[in-house]
Amino acid sequence: MNVYDEANNLAKALKESTEYKNFLAAKEKLEKEPEKFEMTKDYIRKQMEVQSMQMMGQEIPEEQISSYNTLANTIMGMPEIAEFFQTQMYFSVIFQDITDIIAKAVDLDMGLFESEEGC
């Protein structure tokens, strides 16, 4: 068995999955509405900023949180954007499941995340 052949087969199966096709269709539909597409990109940028600050242990200014929440409430009320994020989430779940399966198969975590009872 050639590992690269199997990886290419997996990639092909992902591209042919209903979840990926739905995500791609939602993305293409959203791209046809430039204003909503830009709002979506702005939201993703702000989301990444907030997550980055949280990961670095920085305090997030109240006005930034308020701005982020206002934008989130606004865009999630738009069906095209909500559909984009929903289909993205469904595909991400499959992608993460596959990543987890591979990581477990090759013991990638090296037991670092197992509970250490008796210590």
Interval 29-52: pLDDT, tens: 999 999 999 999 999 998 999 899
Q: Report residue 108's pLDDT band, with 50, 70 and 90 as the boundaries.
A: confident
What secondary structure does DSSP assign to the chain, as a single string? Answer: --HHHHHHHHHHHHHHSHHHHHHHHHHHHHHTSHHHHHHHHHHHHHHHHHHHHHHTTPPPPHHHHHHHHHHHHHHHTSHHHHHHHHHHHHHHHHHHHHHHHHHHHTTTTTTTTS--TT-
* Segment 69-102, tens digit of pLDDT: 998 999 999 999 999 999 999 999 999 999 999 9
